[in-house]
Amino acid sequence: MRVAFTSCFSAQSFKQQPVWDQIGAANPEHLLLLGDSAYYDADGSSISMVKAMDPDPFARHAMRRLRDQLNQPQFAKLVRRKGLHIHPIWDDHNFLWNGACGAQVFEERLHAHLIPPTRAAFQAYRDALDAHEPATFPQPSDPWRSDIKEPGYRMIDIGNAANPVRLHLTDGRSYKTAGGKDAVLGAAQMNALASAIATSSEDTVHLVASGLVFEANHGETWMTCEAEHAKMLELARNRRILILSGDVHENRFAVPQPAGKWSLFEATSSGAALRTGVTIGALQCNWGLLELTPENVVIELSQLHMPPRKRVIDRRTWKLIPGP
């Protein structure tokens, strides 16, 4: 089984997006889009502009940005590929704005009127990806639905009896508190994730899709929420967990975190089609690929003008196999 993953891309300034051709050539069965499929607050817009919008103008703004991405030719070609399952989650820039936290927005009530249209835009994006057809995305004259719930947590079994793999799609924005100190996922979502992991067979590989990086001591990270960070490490004591994260506009492997007899692993791929500072800095074409067999999990991270970097995890011991 092959699972590709990446995050952070913008159709506004990046009309050519070769990353999708590269991913298509790898022929994955699944593609994880780990947040920031559009930038509502950058690339010709700003945080202040978004905060000043009423619901209808914001809905049109968000829908237009997602529609532009769906119609980007290389992305559209990949979306239309039958047999490829695309799983998006959202992060701050295609939720509201940089660093936006759902719990804080609701508590302050200043911009809570933007929550219904952003949910509607993201759901329409998910629907178009599920349909394998960008043309199903709402047109500018179409009304947006005001009754859409938050994406929340979803679990999908994507493996089989010989190669059990469970995918966990998280929502790191709807329940996140300011700075993430009290919550990244929130209690209900964290409990659902924990239950889905704990009730699986011991040989299942758990892929946790996260907009935020797990191991980082600066920026937005799970480490700011000690309780949820500790809970993930506790779950990893008895289950095989690999976190796939985005957000930071670079590819990187985290140092495996000891969790009892096993370790918790993390691979980050961010910057599919933008620059390090969205529109300034070095051009990015970053993505990752997992090859999951009953014996190993092979992780490759690819980026512009550099050979892929590889890590191999032995599924039996859940330890890294030393490379050359």
* pLDDT value for 166: 98
The answer for residues whose C-beta is within 8 angstroms of residue 68's C-beta and 6 or more apart is: 11, 12, 38
pLDDT in tens, 2-22: 999 999 999 998 999 999 999
Task: Give, as one character, the DSSP assignment of residue 261.
Answer: T
Positive/negative CA dihedral, 77, 82, 84, 87: positive
Reply yes or no on whether the pLDDT at 196 is more than 90. Answer: yes
pLDDT in tens, 52-82: 999 999 999 999 999 999 999 999 999 999 9
* pLDDT value for 324: 64
Query: Which of these, 245, 100, 240, lies nearest to 178 by C-alpha position?
Result: 100
Question: How does the average pLDDT of the chain come out, rounded?
Answer: 95
- The boundaries of the domain holding residue 38 are 2-320
Overall average pLDDT of the 285-309 stretch: 96
- pTM here? 0.97
* pLDDT value for 305: 85
The CATH number for 278's domain is 3.60.21.70
* pLDDT value for 160: 94
Total structural domains within the chain: 1
Would you say how long the chain is, in residues?
324
Question: How deeply is 2 buried, as exposed, middle or buried, from its count of CB atoms within 10 A (0-12, 13-18, 19+)?
Answer: middle
Reply yes or no on whether the pLDDT at 187 is more than 70. Answer: yes
* pLDDT value for 175: 96
pLDDT confidence bin for 260, thresholds 50/70/90: confident
Residue whose tokens read 């089989």: 160
Overall average pLDDT of the 262-276 stretch: 96
* pLDDT value for 232: 96
pLDDT in tens, 199-243: 999 999 999 999 999 998 778 999 999 999 999 999 999 999 999
Reply yes or no on whether the pLDDT at 258 is more than 90. Answer: no
Reply yes or no on whether the pLDDT at 108 is more than 80. Answer: yes
Distance CA 24, CA 20 (A): 6
C-alpha distances (whole Å) from 83 to each of 14, 29, 75, 117, 166 are: 27, 6, 15, 30, 18
Query: Which of these, 40, 75, 43, 19, lies nearest to 251 by C-alpha position?
Result: 19
pLDDT in tens, 110-147: 999 999 999 999 999 999 999 999 999 999 999 999 99
Contact predicate 121/145, CB 8 Å:
no
The answer for residues whose C-beta is within 8 angstroms of residue 107's C-beta and 6 or more apart is: none
Per the DSSP assignment, residues forming a β-bridge with 25 are none
